[in-house]
Amino acid sequence: MDLHLMDAAPTEAERSAVDGFLGLPETGWEGGPERSAGDLRVVRSGREVREQRHLLLPALHALQAGVGWISRGGLNYVSQRLSVPPADAYGVATFYAMFSVEERPPTVVHVCDDLACRGAGGLALCEELERDAAPEAADAGGWVWVRSPCLGMCEQAPAIFAQRAGRAEVAIGGATRSAVDRVVAPDPDVANAGGIGAPQTRVTEGRERLRLLRRAGVADPASIDDYRAHGGYEAVRSAVEIGPEATIQAVTDAKLLGRGGAAFPTGVKWQAVATQPVRPHYVICNADESEPGTFKDRVVMEQDPFAVIEALTVAGFACGAEKGFLYIRGEYPLATERLAHAIAEARHHGFLGEDVMGHGFAFDIELRRGAGAYICGEETALFNSIEGKRGEPRNKPPFPVTHGVFGKPTAINNVETLINVLEVLRVGAEAFAAIGTEGSTGPRLFCVSGHVERPGVYEIEHGATLRELIELAGGVRGGAAIKAVLLGGAAGGFVGPDMLDAKLTFEDAKEGGYTLGSGVVMVFDESADLVDLCLRIARFFRDESCGQCVPCRVGTVRQEEALHRLVSGTTIGSREDELALIDEVARVMRDASICGLGQTAASAVQSAIARLGVFDGGVA
């Protein structure tokens, strides 16, 4: 490939950050110091070179983490090492919020001002920083702060996440100004928040009913021996005993539906991949978890990382894949650390590798980090992200089961879906199918946050009501009245207190016109400002739209503008005209967008208008 590199050269620090990840360049063509006589006779090209492109995102991560930004020289060097045109690499680098192609101070503190955090001190913290430190994104003396969408720590609101060049990234909950001071100080020993996580696992009563969370808070997340002592790796053993076909049959008979939002039957997906003649097959664990209000996958990964590894191994075995990817959102440093450790341990003890547990099948897992893009949770955007491209969704069909990552058959599942498979194999398909309801089998994790006494991840059996779940979380804070509950996250919708007896099942949700999505239950009492929350949701979608298709790129902007006009009283025409416009934009986005982001970008706002009368002189 004829690479048109830029003039800029990398600094020594940039070179060593990239080489630290990719290894030293083998030839002058790849950025080695000089072209040798050998280099002039042999040049690698074609497929061999193109196959390196998937290393682009981790290489950019290395650069960003090492020196704090991606300069032209640094980008040039990465491009040369991976034979990716610099313009392409620039397109990728600028796609992700965690990367900066402008020079900036080495420490960047992301302060969550999203739905759960803004009323819980997040906005106040932003104001305090603005007043006492520096305006947003301005140098505050070797560091900057920026507002951030949900950091996936809503149960510990308000949350911050800090990128610190040359030092470990940290995420902290219950954040105050002093927490910001600690993360920006030169002291390297700032610990990640261990997390409130799953309050149910901290009480003795009812613990025995936990299935998905049964090891959380009990087994040492760093010890594979402890994991095994608590039933770990029994599922792989069972799967091998019954074989891949029967494993898929068990998942099908258990009627397990995906927990990532779309509720697709997992057995059907696995069967479709397993029977594809094209090789290789891939399995992917989708741990991107960026839906505002969602944090269940983080808690599982932090507290029971080996379970995620084992479940993906079962998926690989069943689908005939020798390689799995675990794609985790970039803002989860503790979960990343624990999973990386778990993968290394599993490899070391023969639970991953050429001959898994001596059972004669090969499987290994590569951990990939996102870099701050909600859209990368959409499965086809995630494939593009792994492949080193911009995380833009693809048109479907073709579907991932035939054309997934690298164009090969791919089974992609959410973290919670996968750990449910362990339970299917533990209790048997029939027993699993008997849990919950006819249409929604098995246990389910919910992320309960906002104005409740004990926010956290709760495990219930499908069929419990919203009221029961809120009571499990200690009820509304201070016994206040509920004004609204956001179900399913920003892509979900608001319901009012009249819906508290709604059942939390897929079929009831469909019939009742509400959504469970990724299990978000964000409770708001009378003090909440729903108009403000709707504006934040509209801003979220405007920011996160990948911009690839017009209905979503333009629609998310128009939606936000119209809402602001309603709030400021500067409507074009009457209020009714604006509401009609918002409705029309919503319909266009829903019907004509390529992917689920655009299709759901108006759902929450629409529900607030239709169910609660927000913006219409009703509740606000």
Ligand X SMILES: Cc1cc2nc3c(=O)[nH]c(=O)nc-3n(C[C@H](O)[C@H](O)[C@H](O)COP(=O)(O)O)c2cc1C
What's the closest the beta carbon of residue 301 comes to ligand FES, in angstroms?
Answer: 16
Among 32-40, 117-125, 545-553, 609-617, which window interacts with ligand SF4 (CB under 6 A)? 545-553
CA-closest candidate to residue 390, choices 547, 538, 562, 226: 547
Place of tokens 């009703």: 618
Residues in 112-141 at the binding interface with ligand FES, rule: CB under 6 A? 112, 114-117
Regarding 247 and contact with ligand X (CB under 6 A), the answer is no
> Which tokens is 44 given?
């690698």
Q: Name which of ligand FES, ligand X, ligand SF4, none residue 545 binds, using a CB cut-off of 5 to 8 Å depending on partner kind.
A: ligand SF4
Secondary structure class of 324 (helix, strand, coil): strand
Among 97, 307, 375, 520, binds ligand X (CB under 6 A): 375
Regarding 598 and contact with ligand SF4 (CB under 6 A), the answer is yes
CA-CA distance, 609 to 535, in Å (whole number)?
Answer: 12
What's the closest the beta carbon of residue 594 comes to ligand SF4, in angstroms?
Answer: 4
What's the closest the beta carbon of residue 291 comes to ligand FES, in angstroms?
Answer: 10
171: which strand partners? 161
Task: List the x/- string, 84-123, binding to ligand SF4 by CB under 6 A.
Answer: ----------------------------------------
Residue placing its CB nearer to ligand FES in the complex, 148 or 545? 148
Regarding 157 and contact with ligand FES (CB under 6 A), the answer is yes
CA-CA distance, 530 to 542, in Å (whole number)?
Answer: 18
Q: Name which of ligand SF4, ligand FES, ligand X, none residue 493 binds, using a CB cut-off of 5 to 8 Å depending on partner kind.
A: none
Among 119, 260, 324, 493, binds ligand X (CB under 6 A): 260
Residue placing its CB nearer to ligand SF4 in the complex, 232 or 555? 555
Q: Name which of ligand X, ligand FES, ligand SF4, none residue 247 binds, using a CB cut-off of 5 to 8 Å depending on partner kind.
A: none
CA-closest candidate to residue 98, choices 125, 74, 126, 70: 70
Beta strand segments in 438-488, E: 443-450, 456-461, 482-487
CA-CA distance, 446 to 293, in Å (whole number)?
Answer: 10
Q: CA separation (Å) from 447 to 454, 482, 543?
A: 11, 17, 24
What's the closest the beta carbon of residue 84 comes to ligand SF4, in angstroms?
Answer: 22
Among 69-77, 132-140, 442-450, 539-547, which window interacts with ligand SF4 (CB under 6 A)? 539-547
Place of tokens 């690989």: 316
What's the closest the beta carbon of residue 264 comes to ligand X, in angstroms?
Answer: 5
Q: CA separation (Å) from 569 to 150, 291, 559, 566, 617?
A: 29, 31, 15, 5, 12
Q: Name which of ligand X, ligand SF4, ligand FES, none residue 598 binds, using a CB cut-off of 5 to 8 Å depending on partner kind.
A: ligand SF4
Among 14, 113, 114, 289, binds ligand X (CB under 6 A): 289
Contact 169, 64 (CB under 8 A): no
CA-CA distance, 287 to 414, in Å (whole number)?
Answer: 6
Contacts of residue 158, defined as CB under 8 A and 6 or more positions apart, other chains included, come to 111, 112, 117, 118, 120, 121, 122, 125, 173, 174, 175
| DSSP labels, 510-535 | HHHT---TTTEEEEEETT--HHHHHH
Residues in 271-330 at the binding interface with ligand FES, rule: CB under 6 A? 292
Contacts of residue 236, defined as CB under 8 A and 6 or more positions apart, other chains included, come to 310, 313, 314, 317, 351, 356, 357, 359
Residue placing its CB nearer to ligand X in the complex, 81 or 444? 444
Task: List the x/- string, 379-398, binding to ligand SF4 by CB under 6 A.
Answer: --------------x-----
Among 414, 441, 545, 603, binds ligand X (CB under 6 A): 414
CA-closest candidate to residue 286, choices 308, 302, 314, 303: 308
Residue placing its CB nearer to ligand SF4 in the complex, 235 or 549? 549
What's the closest the beta carbon of residue 408 comes to ligand X, in angstroms?
Answer: 17
Among 14, 30, 155, 288, binds ligand X (CB under 6 A): 288
> Which tokens is 228 given?
């095994």
What's the closest the beta carbon of residue 153 comes to ligand FES, in angstroms?
Answer: 4
Regarding 153 and contact with ligand FES (CB under 6 A), the answer is yes
Task: List the x/- string, 186-225, binding to ligand FES by CB under 6 A.
Answer: ----------------------------------------
Residue placing its CB nearer to ligand X in the complex, 83 or 449? 449
Q: What is the dihedral of CA 89, 93, 94, 96, to 10 degrees?
A: 140
The angle, 0 to 180 degrees and rounded to 10, between the axes of the packed helices 56-67 and 12-22 is: 140
* Binding footprint of ligand FES on the chain (CB under 6 A): 112, 114-117, 150-154, 157, 159, 292
* Binding footprint of ligand SF4 on the chain (CB under 6 A): 375, 393, 545-549, 552-553, 593-595, 597-598
